[in-house]
Amino acid sequence: MGGENKISASLAVLIWDYLRKYANEPVERVAKVFQVSSATVQRVLDASHRDVRHLGKPRDSSREKPDLSRLQVAAVIGFHVQGTKQREIAKLIPCGTSTIARILDGKHRYNDKKLR
């Protein structure tokens, strides 16, 4: 609103994507990486920058985690059969312990058979 927009649309989208991927990165650090002001990064983060408004807030989507593949689910089941503890399986796969519990309880989309 105040001054002239000094960064390109492509740079604004790059900053948005970086903020999406590195959700815990401080605004000041991102500003230093891209050599822009902290205010610019904050506008991208708030989705108030004109070139990223249509994308929404980047950190909302950072909570989404990729789904496990069928192979990973099979590995979870294999580790469980071998007697590996849930927490250890979660570190090996890597995923959360609640995901391991859902798989073993038969509540995951790739496994509908209760294993414990």
- Print the domain residue range for 26: 9-63
Is residue 55 within 8 A of residue 43, CB to CB? The reply is: no
Residue 55 lies in a domain: yes
Residue 1 lies in a domain: no
Residue 4 lies in a domain: no
- The answer to whether residues 76 and 35 belong to one domain is no
- The answer to whether residues 76 and 107 belong to one domain is yes
User: Residue 63: pLDDT above 90?
Assistant: no
- The answer to whether residues 80 and 103 belong to one domain is yes
- The answer to whether residues 76 and 56 belong to one domain is no
The size of the chain, in residues, is: 116
> 23-57, pLDDT tens digit by residue?
788 999 999 999 999 999 999 989 899 888 888 88
Which three-class secondary structure state does DSSP give residue 65?
A: coil
* Mean pLDDT of the region 76-90: 93
Residue 57 lies in a domain: yes
- The pLDDT value recorded for residue 40 is 93
* Domain count along the chain: 2
